[in-house]
Amino acid sequence: MNKGEQLYSGKAKSVFRTDDPERLILHFRNDTSAFDGVKLAQLERKGEMNNRINAFIMQKLEAAGVQTHFIEQLGPEESLVRRLDMVRVECVVRNVVAGSLSKRLGIEEGLVLDEPVFEFFLKDDALHDPMINESHIRVFGWASEEETAGMHRLSHTVNGVLKPLFADAGIMLVDFKLEFGRADGQLVLGDEFTPDGCRLWDAQTHKKLDKDRFRRDLGEVVESYREVARRLGVPLDD
């Protein structure tokens, strides 16, 4: 599989064409950002940790019957994926109160919810990814009613697979973001699942093991990502 021209470069990933129009290469970079790009840094081996964790998680989801765009890991920082027509909607599942939910509702971080809270956001960096609902999605044509219901259902399915997986590793899956795309008329999980896009806490101490370590200047960002990988049993080189 030959790597072609760059199609897109986001906050921490770059996307490249291949000689197959239906296949793309994701390159996980060491770039780290927060607060819509206001805070930036280069963290050695972060791209590698994210690529390895993402490959592991995507394969676990595939084994559980969730269709994803992941095909195979090509190297330390790159993976081969299916090309999708991405939906401009982000799906967020929250098992524990943290982050923006805590700020919006004035509820202290750490409250474990009796059932997950589900939220939609519009994927638009310039608008800071505003919260939206099913009515917005339908009226503005971002997805069909069937797709909207499917994203909701699949997000809860992912939570049902990953919450116990992380729990077995001594990690609380606090919340996470998912993005979906279309392929052959079906919804497929795209983008990534890494500590950049979810909150992970040590189950006993509540030590943060995700990108909040960067947002809040807690240090040991890559070390924490590596700890997540080690606990999950992600294959590592050293």
Give residue 194's pLDDT. Answer: 98
pLDDT at 157 over 70: yes
3-state DSSP call for residue 126? helix
Boundary residue ending a domain (50, 82, 114): 82
- Residues 58, 20, single domain; the answer is yes
3-state DSSP call for residue 68? strand
Q: Is residue 143 part of a domain?
A: yes
Q: In the predicted model, what is the mean pLDDT of residues 85-103?
A: 98
CA atoms within 13 A on the CB side of 152: 14
| Spatial distance between the Cα atoms of 169 and 197, rounded to a whole number of angstroms | 18
Boundary residue ending a domain (54, 82, 110): 82
Question: Tokens 């750490």, residue?
Answer: 110
Paired tokens of 140? 């503005």
| Spatial distance between the Cα atoms of 119 and 98, rounded to a whole number of angstroms | 14
Give residue 111's pLDDT. Answer: 98
Question: Tokens 């030590």, residue?
Answer: 207
Q: Which domain holds residue 53?
A: 3-82
pTM of the model: 0.96
- % residues pLDDT > 70 (the chain): 99
For residue 42, give Cα distances in angstroms to 10, 131, 205. Answer: 14, 29, 28
Q: Count the domains in the chain.
A: 2
Q: In the predicted model, what is the mean pLDDT of residues 184-204?
A: 97
Nearest to 209 by CA among 171, 235, 177, 167: 171
Give residue 238's pLDDT. Answer: 65
Does the CA dihedral 93-95-99-104 come out positive or negative? positive
Nearest to 18 by CA among 36, 6, 10: 6
Q: Is residue 232 part of a domain?
A: no
Boundary residue ending a domain (43, 64, 82): 82
52: CATH: 3.30.200.20
| Spatial distance between the Cα atoms of 144 and 151, rounded to a whole number of angstroms | 10
Q: Is residue 26 part of a domain?
A: yes
Contacting residues for 80 by C-beta, under 8 A, at least 6 apart: 1, 18, 23, 24, 25, 26, 71, 72, 73, 74
The pLDDT tens digits of the residues spanning 109-140 come to 999 999 999 999 999 989 999 999 999 999 99
**Amino acid identity, position 68:** T
Give 3-state DSSP helix, strand, coil % of the chain, rounded to 5.
30, 35, 35
- Residues 120, 194, single domain; the answer is yes
Mean pLDDT rounded to a whole number for the chain: 96
- Residues 95, 144, single domain; the answer is yes
The pLDDT tens digits of the residues spanning 43-73 come to 999 999 999 999 999 999 999 999 999 999 9
CB atoms within 10 A of CB 191: 22
